[in-house]
Structure 1
Amino acid sequence: MLYRYGSLIHRRARLVLVIAVLLIAGAAVAGAGVFGRLQGGGFDDPGSESSKAQRLIDERFGGRANLVLLAHATGGSVDAPDAAAAGRDLAAALQREPGVRDVVSYWSAGVPDLRSADGADAIVLAHVDGDATQRRERAGQLIERYAADGPALHVRAGGETAVNLDVNGQVARSLAIAEAIAVPLTLLLLILVFGSVVSALLPLAIGGIAIAGTFAELTALGAVTDVSVFAINLTTALGLGLGIDYALLMVTRFREELGEDRPVAEALATTVATAGRTILFAAGTVATALTALLVFPLYFLRSFAYAGIGVVVIAALGALVVAPALLAVLGRRVNAWPVGRRRASRSAGTAFWARLAGAVMRRPALAALPVVLGLLVVASPLRHVAFGTPDEGVLRPGSAGRQVADRLATGFPSNQNASVDIVLTGPVDRDRLAAYAQQLSTLDDAALVTSSAGTFGHGTRAGEGNPALSRPTGERLTVASRLTAKSDAAQRLVRSIRSAPAPAEAYVGGVDAALIDTTHAIGARLPLGIAIVVLATFVLLFLFTGSVIQPLRALVLNVLGLSAIMGALVWIFQDGHLASWLRFTPRPMDTAMTVLMFVIVFGLSMDYEVFIIGRIAELHGQGMPTDEAVRTGLGRTGRIVSAAAALLAVSFFAFGTGTVSFLQMFGIGCGLAIVVDATLIRGVLVPAILRGLGRLNWYSPAPLRRLHATVALREA
C-alpha cells in the first residue's frame, strides 16, 4: 500500500506541492494571532473545592484581590503626610478605572495588616475584572500607569494578574531567544549530517510546516476553549524536532536507495514503503502517549495534548506528503551543493555504530551493568522529591511581581498571598458565624480571621467585622497567617479549616487549597494516564514488530531512563545545585510539568525505539540472524538517531536560556532525556538486551502471530 502511494506521489509531485503551499500559506495567516488567543493559567482543577470557592467569590463577592500595588515611602514612613496623601490619591485613581473594583488600601481601611512591620511599605488591593485575556490586557495598562516612582511613593505591582502578565511576557521573550539559538544551530547540524545544503533544508522545511500548522490549530482551539500559552513552547520545540526527525529518516533512506543505483521513482516508492511505515508507527506512539494528558482536568495539561497531537500529526503528514513530493522533484539533485567530505562522514558514522553494537554484544552483561547502575544512582534523588504549583517563585528575583511577593511574605504582619478564603453558602445566623470565625482563629498558625460578624485573633475578638463580606446568598471569611505560601504548614492549616465544623456548606479556597486540590486531581488520574500510555505503546509496538517481548523490553528501558532524568531534575531544580548558573530559585518540582515531561519523554523515547527496532526487524525479516541484524540495523540507523536526537535536543536545550524556571526545567529535562536515550539506552542497553534474549526477541503466542499477520502494516 505504501509502495503504491509512493509511486502516486512521484507521478503527482508538482500538484501535491502546489496544494501544500496554499495550505501552508493559509495556516501561517491563521496562526499569526495565536498569542492573543491563549491563556496564562490552567494549573487548577476546575471541579475542585478551591475552584468552586473562587467562582463563588467572583460571582457573589466581587472577586478576590488579584492586583497588589506595593507602595514604598521615600521619606521612610507611609504615615508621613505626603506619603499618606499620595497613597489616598493612588487608591482613588485606581477605584475610578474601568474594570477595577473593590479597591482597599492601608490609608483608606486603616487595617494594620496592610502596612509593613517597619512602616516603610503599604499595599493597595484591587480586583481586575474580565476573563484571563481581558485581565492581562487591563493589568498591563494599569501597571504601566501606576507602577512608577513618584516624589512620595515608589510603587511596584504584584498579585496574580501582574505575575501572569510577567510570566507571559517572559515566555514570549524566551521563545524568541530559543528560536534564535535553535534554528541556526539546527541548520548547521543538518549540513554537517548530510554534507549537502539542499538535503539539510528539506527537514527544516518540514519542521516549519509542523509549527505553522499547529499554530493555526491552536488559534482555532483558542477561540472555542481555554488553551495555555505554554503550549507554544511545545509546538516550536516538538514541531521543529519531530518534523526534522521524520524528514531526516525519509531523506536518508532516499539517498541510500539512490546510492544503490535505483531509478528515482523506485527509490522514492521504496523510501515511502519503509521509512514511511516507520514514521507512521513512530508518530502513532508519540501521539497516543500524548492522549494520556486528556484525562487530566487541568487545561494546562490538556493544552499540551492539543498542541502535541496536532504537531505530531502535521509533522508526519509533512514527512509523508510534502517531503516525498520534494524528493520526487529534486531526484538526484537532493545531494546538490555538497559541503565537506559527505561520503566519508556517512561511512564513518555507520561504522562507529556497527562497531559499538558488536562490542556491546560480545560482552553484553559487562557493557550493560555499569550503565544500569549509573542510571539508578542518578535516579536516587527521587526518594525526596516534593511537588508544587507555579507561582511568582518561577520568576527571577529581579522581576517586579517576584519582589512584591517576597516583600509581602517577609515584611508584613500576615502574608496576603497565603490567605485562605472560605465561602459559606446560604444565609447564616450572625452569632453562629461569629462563633465559627472565633473557632477558626484558634487553629495553629491562624493569625487573623475576618468575617462580617467580627475580626478574631487567637480566640479573641480583635475588631469589627467587614460588612462587604456578607451577602444574602452567603458569607465570606478570610484566614490570614504568617506562613509561607505552599509550605507544608500552610497546607496543614487548609486541612484543619476544611475539617472544622461549619454553620453552612463551606468551600475553602486560596493558593494553598488550590495546591492540595491540584495535586489530588493529578494523583487520582495518574494511574489511568499511565495505563493509557503503556497499553497504547504495547499495542503499537506489537503491531510494528509482531513480538510481545519487544514492547515489554522497551517499556522497562523507558522507565529506567525516565527515572534517571527525573532524579537529575530533582537534583538540579529542587535541590538547587545549578541554581546560580541557571539563575533560578530552587523550588519543588512542578506537578503538572512533571507529568507533561513524563508523557513527552516517553513518547520521544518510543520514537527512537521505532526508528531502530524497525530497521532491525526489517533485516531479521529478510532472513538475517538476530546478532547480525542488530549490528547492521544499528549501524544504518544509529547515525540517524544520534543526529535526530542532537537536533531535537538543541530545540529543547534552547529553553534552558529562559527566565521562567519551570520552562527551563522542561527544556533541560527533555533535552537530557533525548541525549541519554539516544546514547546509553539505544547504543548500549538495546543491543545488550537483544543479544541476551536471542531468539526470544521475536516471540509471540500463536494467536497473536495470526493477528499480527492479519492486521499489521508490513514492509514493502
Structure 2
Amino acid sequence: AIDYALFIVSRFREEVAAGYDTPTAVRRSVTTAGRTVVFSATMIVASLAGMLLFPQGFLKSIAYGAIATVTLAAFTAVTILPAMLAILGKRVNALGIERFRRGDSAANVEHGFWGRWTGWVMRHPRKITAVLILGLLVLILPVRNIAFGGFSEKYLPPDNAVRVAQHEIDTYFPLRKSDPIELVIVTADSTQVGPLVERASFAPGLLPSGFEIPTRSQTDPTIYKTQAYLVDSSKYDKTIDFLRNLETSEDTTLMVTGVPTVQHDTIAALLNRLPLMIALVLAATTILMFLTFGSLILPLKAAFMSVLGLGSTLGILTWIFTEGHGATLLNFTPQPIQANILFLIIAIIYGLSTDYEVFLLSRMVEARTRGATTEEAIRSGTAHTGRIITAAALILLVVTGAFAFSDLVLMQYIAYGMIAALVIDATVLRMMLVPAVMKMLGDWCWWAPAWMKRIQQRIGLSEPILDDEREQPVPRELVDTRS
C-alpha cells in the first residue's frame, strides 16, 4: 500500500510541477502510474498464488490474506487516492519540509542525483556488472548448507524459561518427550503385532528402550498403537525411512505418524512442489510482464535479477541461522530453518522484487514510447523511480526490522531476511545492476518476436501515449546564461 501510494503521489506532484491543472494531473497520474500499480498488483497476486500449490493450511491462509491485501491496496490506489489528490490539488505539497515539499519537473528529476548516478553506472557497465554479480554469487554460496526443520522449543532463546524447562524434562525424563514417533498397526492377526514392533525397535536414532508395548484400540480390536522417542528430535529422516520400508504381511498395515513424521512429510511436500511453483510463477510473471512492456528480454532479465536477489538473501539467512554466525550475539541456537516461514519469506521477497522491477521498467518503457533512446530511457526510468524505491524500501525496513527484537527466531528470519532482501533489491539490483545490464544489452532490451508484439497491441496493453503531451520546460539552473 505504501509503495503504490508513493508511486502515484510522486507522479501527481511531478505532473503538477510540469504545469498541468489538477484534473489533468490526476488523469495523467492514474493513466501512467495507476496503470503500473494495477499490473504490479496482478503480478504479485500471481506470485503469491504459487503458495496455493502447497498442501499446508498455513501457507494457503497466508496466500489468501496477502492476495486480498494486495488487491485492496491496488484498488484503493486507483480510486480513493486519486479522489483525495483531486481535492488536495497543489496543497499536496503542504505541511512538509521545505526541501522536499516542492515538486520537481521531469527535467529537474532526470538531471538530479539519480540521473547523474545512472549516467555514471552506464559509463562503466561491464565493470559494475562483473563486480556485483561476483559479490552476489559469494553471498549465494552458503545456500549449499541450507537445511529445513520443523517447529520446536529451540526456536526460543537458549535462556528462555519454557525452553529450559523442556530441556530438563528431556534430560531427566526421556520417555516424557513431547514429540514421539508413533506407529499405528492395523491387522486382524494379533500375532503379527509383537514381531513387527520388535523389528521396528531396531530403527536408527531411537532411544535404547525402543517402542513401547502396543496398546489395542478400545473401539476397534484390529488397531494397535505404540510409540518411541528419538535420541535427537531433529534427526528423524533415517528413522522414518527405515520404519516405512519394513515388510509386513498382506493383511497387515503399518502407518508411521507422530510429530517428527509430520515435520518430515511437511518438508517433503514443500520440496516436491517447489519446482512446480517456481515454473508456474516465473511463467505467469513473464507473460504478464511481456503484456505490460511488450518486450521478451525485460521479463527474462527481471527473472534473472529475482534469482540473484532471492539466492543472496537465502545465503545470508543460511550463513546466520544454520551455520550460526552471530548466534551468541543474537542469542539463538543454530539449526535448520523452519520450512513454512522460509517459503513465506521467498514469496514476499519475490513479490517485492517484482514490484520494484515493474516501477522501474514502466518509466523506462514510457520514455522509450515517447521516442527516447535506450540510454535516455534507462536514465529517465532510474531517475524518476530511484527516490521512490529507496523511500519505500526504507519504510518497509523500519516495519520489518522491528521483528529483529523478537525472542522468536522465526520472527528474526523475517526481519533479517527482509532487511537483506530490501538492501540488495533496492540498491544493488535496481539502481546499479539493472541499468548496467540494460546498457550492455542496448536496443535488444525492447526485443520480442513480431507476432508476440502484435498480440500485445491487439490486447491493448501497450504503454499509453497521452494526448496532451508537451515539451517539458528546461530547468532554470540548466539554462546556459551565456547564450
Provide the TM-score with structure 1 as the length reference: 0.62
The structure-2 alpha-carbon separation of the partners of 1:434 and 1:698, relative to structure 1 and needing over 3 Å to count, comes to: same
Shift of 1:433: 1.3
Q: How does 1:217-232 map to 2 (within 5 A)?
A: none
**Contact between 2:93 and 2:101, CA under 8 Å: does it hold in 1?**
no
Does structure 1 residue 643 correspond to structure 2 residue 403? Answer: no
What pairs with 1:36-115 in structure 2 (closer than 5 Å)? none
- What does 1:624-663 align with in structure 2 at a 5 Å threshold? 624-663=372-411
Matches within 5 A, 1:378-397: 378-397=139-158
Deviations 1:320-374 (A, max 9, x none): 1111111111111111113232268966896221111111111100111111111
Q: Give the deviation of 1:568 after TM superposition.
A: 0.4
Equivalent in the alignment of 1:523: 271
- Taking a change above 3 Å as real, the CA distance of residues 445 and 378 of structure 1, as seen in their structure-2 partners, is closer
Note if 1:536 corresponds to 2:284: yes
Runs (5+) with no aligned partner, structure 1: 1-242, 456-464
Shift of residue 582, structure 1, vs aligned partner: 2.5
- Could you list the per-position Cα deviations for residues 490-527 of structure 1 after superposition, in whole angstroms to 9, with x for gaps in the alignment? 32122111111235211101222122211211111111
* Alignment-mate amino acid for residue 432 of structure 1: Q
Pick closer, same or farther for the CA change 1:624–1:467 going to 2, 3 Å. closer
User: Which whole-Å CA distance do the structure 2 matches of 1:619 and 1:554 have between them?
Assistant: 19
Distance 2:385 2:193 in 1: 71
Alignment partner of 2:200 out of 440, 443, 449: 440
Contact preservation (8 Å) 1:649, 1:672 = no
Identify the residue that residue 289 of structure 1 maps to in structure 2: 47
Name the SS for the 1:448 alignment partner. coil
Residue in structure 2 matching 1:277, options 35, 50, 71: 35
- For residue 227 of structure 2, the aligned residue among 458, 478, 484 is 478
Q: Does structure 2 conserve the Cα–Cα contact (< 8 Å) formed by 1:449 and 1:477?
A: no
* Matching residue of 2:451: 703
CA distance in 1, matches of 2:24, 2:217: 78
Matches of 1:662 and 1:705, distance apart in 2: 45
Report the equivalent of 1:162: none
Inter-partner Cα distance in structure 2 for 1:414 and 1:474: 23
Shift of 1:473: 4.0
Residues of 2 paired with 1:342 and 1:623: CA distance?
30
Give the structure 2 partner of residue 340 of structure 1. Answer: 98
Q: Which residue in 1 is equivalent to 2:474?
A: none
Match of 2:117 in 1: 356
| Compared CA separation, residues 619 and 248, structure 1 to 2 (3 A) | same
For 1:680, which of 405, 428, 436 is the aligned residue? Answer: 428
Q: 1:500 to 1:265 in 2, by over 3 A?
A: same
Higher RCO (CA < 8 A, seq sep 6+):
2
Q: 1:338 to 1:438 in 2, by over 3 A?
A: closer
Q: CA deviation at 1:466?
A: 5.1
1:368 paired residue among 116, 129, 151: 129
Aligned-pair distance for 1:285? Answer: 1.3
Q: 1:45: which partner in 2?
A: none
Instruction: Write out aligned runs for 1:181-260 (5 A).
Output: 243-260=1-18
1:667 aligns with 2:415: yes
Deviations 1:149-184 (A, max 9, x none): xxxxxxxxxxxxxxxxxxxxxxxxxxxxxxxxxxxx
> What is the aligned partner in structure 2 of residue 508 from structure 1?
256
Alpha-carbon distance in 1 for matches of 2:134, 2:225: 55
Please name the residue that 1:581 is paired with: 329
Residue 378 of structure 1 contacts residue 567 of structure 1 at CA under 8 Å; is this kept in 2? yes
Q: For residue 507 of structure 1, give the secondary structure of its aligned residue in structure 2.
A: strand
Q: CA deviation at 1:405?
A: 2.5
- CA–CA separation in structure 2 for the residues paired with 1:594 and 1:322: 35
Q: Partner amino acid for 1:443?
A: A
Do 1:350 and 1:639's aligned partners in 2 also have CA atoms closer than 8 Å?
no
Change in 2 beyond 3 A, CA 1:484/1:408: farther
Deviations 1:362-387 (A, max 9, x none): 11001111111111111111111111
Q: Does 1:404 align with 2:155?
A: no
> Contact 2:17–2:103 (CA<8 Å) still a contact in 1?
no
Return the offset for 1:404: 3.0
Match of 1:572 among 316, 320, 325: 320
Cα distance in 2 between the residues matched to 1:414 and 1:484: 13
State the partner residue of 1:140: none
Aligned mates of 1:266, 1:567 — CA distance in 2: 47
Residue 499 (1) aligns with residue 245 (2):
yes
Change (3 A) 1:356 1:661: same
Which range moved further: 258-267 or 350-359? 350-359
CA contact (8 A) 1:443 1:496 kept: yes
2:148 touches 2:336 (CA, 8 Å); kept in 1? yes
Cα offsets for 1:464-494 (capped at 9, x unmatched): x65678941400011234x11022xx32122
Q: Which residue of 1 aligns with 2:440?
A: 692
Letter in 1 for 2:359: F
For 2:469, the equivalent position in structure 1 comes to none
What is the alpha-carbon root mean square deviation over aligned residues?
2.0
- Partners of 1:670 and 1:687 in 2: CA distance: 23
TM-score scaled by length of structure 2: 0.90
**Aligned residue identity for 2:145:** H
Q: Secondary structure, in 3 states, of the residue corresponding to 2:226?
A: strand
Aligned residue type for 2:227: T
Instruction: State the number of aligned residues.
Output: 458
* Residue of structure 2 in register with 1:614 after alignment: 362
Q: CA deviation at 1:450?
A: 4.5
Name the SS for the 2:383 alignment partner. Answer: helix
Cα distance in 1 for partners of 2:109, 2:379 equals 15
Compared with structure 1, are the counterparts of its residues 573 and 450 closer, same or farther at alpha carbon in structure 2 (3 Å cutoff)? closer
Measure how far apart 1:596 and its partner are. Answer: 1.7
